[in-house]
Amino acid sequence: MALSMGSKAHVHAGVTASQARLVCVRRPVAARAAKHDEQPPSAAVPRRAALVAIAAAPAAGLVRVPLAAAEAACTDLRQQAAAAPRRAAPRRAARTQIDTPSGLKYCEIAEGTGKEPVKGALIRAHYTGRLASNGKVFDSSYTRGRPLTFKVGAREVIRGWDLGILGDEGIPPMKEGGKRLLVIPSDLAYGDRGAGGVIPGGATLEFEVELLGRR
């Protein structure tokens, strides 16, 4: 079920409250074929699906999780984006942080060794999305156990993802097997309207993106 940016979230029919998932998209579009990884068994995946917000916790919607040690190299970047204190994590050797003119920031968590994606390629990626203001998780493909499949650079996801994966403004392209932290300003994400009732308007978002490879 498609949900346009700025509209209210819709819950898939026939699913209990504890299983409900809210599908946030950039705009209503035609459904994708049933074979894609991100598609639930009984529902079509929107062509320009952005990211699927989870409502697995009873009535709460948002949950907080500790930072993984593998992501600790980007602690400084997280702290800059955050408006509230965050739980400290063991540090690795610091890696280069890049701030771009558009406001997108990135830090490598793990460098990939595979091929770089090209614009229009159908790729698979795991991710965890947090609100930069408080570190609360609003979406995670790891929790569902299914990566997101989409055409990179084809506006099927938020612009911050396309830029952060393909590379631009001094950011190198990701490589297969790599994992990257992206701090995405609202104008490269969901803007002033927010999305799905879980992403406030004007919110800066953090995404840990793991590029698995091409579909």
Catalytic residues: 127, 138-139, 158, 190, 207
d(CA 208, CA 69): 13
CA–CA distance, 132 with 111 (Å, rounded to integer): 23
Distances (CA, A) of 193 to 49, 98, 196: 17, 27, 10
Residue 53, strand partner residues: 22
Which tokens hold the place of 126?
């795991």
- End-to-end Cα spacing for the chain: 23
